[in-house]
């Protein structure tokens, strides 16, 4: 049994909060030889167990989209390396619909004028940890992340995201929307790091968390690190229940209270589902969220 330290906060904080990193037993997250998969410009992959390393090498001025569906009850480790050359546009969709333990990391190198878009959706999960790093190395490089989670029961989710700005006029935009119910436990660490030399860079980060049950535990850790004068960085977080006025309005329209919460939760996660784009994946995701064929 080997302990591994994951999802380290780039700059540690108060020890008693226990948010500086996560410690796990490596055996729970898949075993065997690592499979290497090279994804082409319009790739689909499904990972159900074991250890997989996926690579996206986007050539200059190319466009590519990859969809990775992570499912099943086996433990797994999924690593994705993205190399976006100058002017390339890469979109990566990751859906975690796994009941077992999972580690996922995404490492992206983004060159001049290149763009990397990540859509990551978590539909439950016994113990999922994802570590995302976007290196905005080139001038005017761009990174956009839309992350959603729908957690219930005793689901556990731990996300660590770092947008590292080295390139001048680089831009990052991180939006996280989640719904938590039951005894679910989630931690989101999001860091915008403006390195010295990244003048003209901009970074924004926002997390909205809808809490549905009194037994949930939510931790939000949004960092801005700044070693450059000419940058603009902002982060925001909003954590709580549905606004009472919204509930009252919907009740006045005859909608039962239970249904109101269900509708609002689905609407919240639906904002991330809408970013997926790929119709087959959207249909499959909606089937999980709404049940049946997912045509809602």
- The footprint of other proteins (CB under 8 A) covers 11-15, 17, 19-20, 180, 194, 196, 199, 209, 211-214, 216-241
The answer for residues whose C-beta is within 8 angstroms of residue 254's C-beta and 6 or more apart is: none
End-to-end CA gap in the chain: 45
Give CA–CA dist 110/83, Å, rounded: 6
- Pairing type for strands 142-151 and 115-123 reads parallel
Residues in the chain: 296
Residue 269 CB, shortest distance to other proteins, in Å, is 17
Give CA–CA dist 52/75, Å, rounded: 12
Measured from the CB atom, the residue of 67 and 179 that comes closer to other proteins is: 179
Residue 178 CB, shortest distance to other proteins, in Å, is 12
Measured from the CB atom, the residue of 70 and 231 that comes closer to other proteins is: 231
Measured from the CB atom, the residue of 20 and 31 that comes closer to other proteins is: 20
Provide the β-strand partners of residue 39: 56
Residue 203 CB, shortest distance to other proteins, in Å, is 9
Give CA–CA dist 97/72, Å, rounded: 7
Residue 191 CB, shortest distance to other proteins, in Å, is 9
The answer for residues whose C-beta is within 8 angstroms of residue 147's C-beta and 6 or more apart is: 118, 119, 120, 121, 122, 159, 161, 174, 175, 176, 177, 178, 188, 272
Residue 218 CB, shortest distance to other proteins, in Å, is 5
Residue 17 CB, shortest distance to other proteins, in Å, is 5
Residue 226 CB, shortest distance to other proteins, in Å, is 5
The two structure tokens encoding residue 4:
């591994």
Measured from the CB atom, the residue of 114 and 195 that comes closer to other proteins is: 195
Measured from the CB atom, the residue of 102 and 174 that comes closer to other proteins is: 174
Measured from the CB atom, the residue of 20 and 48 that comes closer to other proteins is: 20
Give CA–CA dist 30/122, Å, rounded: 19
Measured from the CB atom, the residue of 12 and 153 that comes closer to other proteins is: 12
The two structure tokens encoding residue 279:
């119709």
Give CA–CA dist 152/132, Å, rounded: 23
Residue 197 CB, shortest distance to other proteins, in Å, is 8
Work out the angle at residue 177's Cα, subtended by the Cα atoms of residues 185 and 265, and round it to the nearest 5 degrees: 80
The DSSP symbol for 139 reads T
Measured from the CB atom, the residue of 42 and 196 that comes closer to other proteins is: 196
Q: Could you please report the per-residue DSSP string of 173-231?
A: EEEEEEEE-TT-EEEEEEEEEE-TT-TT-EEEEEEEEEE-STT-EEEEEEEEEE--SS-
């Amino acid at each position: 049994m080997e302990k591994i330290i994951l999802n380290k906060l780039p700059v540690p904080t108060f020890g008693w909060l226990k948010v500086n990193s996560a410690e796990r037993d490596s055996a729970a997250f898949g075993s065997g030889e690592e499979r290497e998969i090279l994804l082409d410009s319009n790739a689909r992959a499904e990972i159900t167990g074991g250890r997989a390393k996926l690579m996206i090498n986007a050539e200059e001025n190319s466009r590519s989209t990859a969809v990775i569906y992570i499912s099943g009850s086996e433990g797994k480790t999924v690593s994705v390396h993205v190399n976006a050359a100058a002017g390339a546009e890469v979109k990566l969709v990751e859906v975690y619909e796994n009941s077992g333990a999972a580690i996922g990391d995404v490492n992206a190198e983004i060159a001049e004028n290149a763009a990397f878009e990540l859509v990551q959706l978590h539909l439950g999960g016994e113990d999922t940890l994802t570590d995302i790093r976007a290196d905005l190395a080139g001038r005017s490089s761009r990174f956009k992340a839309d992350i959603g989670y729908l957690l219930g029961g005793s689901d556990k989710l731990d996300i660590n995201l770092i947008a590292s700005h080295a390139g001048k006029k680089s831009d990052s935009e991180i939006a996280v929307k989640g719904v938590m119910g039951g005894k679910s436990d989630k931690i989101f660490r999001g860091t915008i790091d403006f390195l010295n030399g990244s003048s003209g860079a901009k970074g924004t980060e926002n997390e909205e968390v809808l809490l549905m049950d009194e037994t949930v535990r939510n931790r939000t850790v949004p960092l801005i690190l700044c070693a450059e004068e000419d940058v603009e960085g902002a982060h925001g977080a909003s954590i709580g229940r549905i606004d009472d006025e919204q509930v009252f309005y919907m009740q006045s329209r005859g909608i039962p209270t239970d249904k109101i919460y269900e509708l609002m939760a689905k609407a919240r996660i639906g904002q991330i589902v809408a970013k997926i784009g790929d119709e087959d994946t959207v249909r499959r995701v909606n089937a999980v969220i709404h049940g049946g064929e997912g045509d809602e």
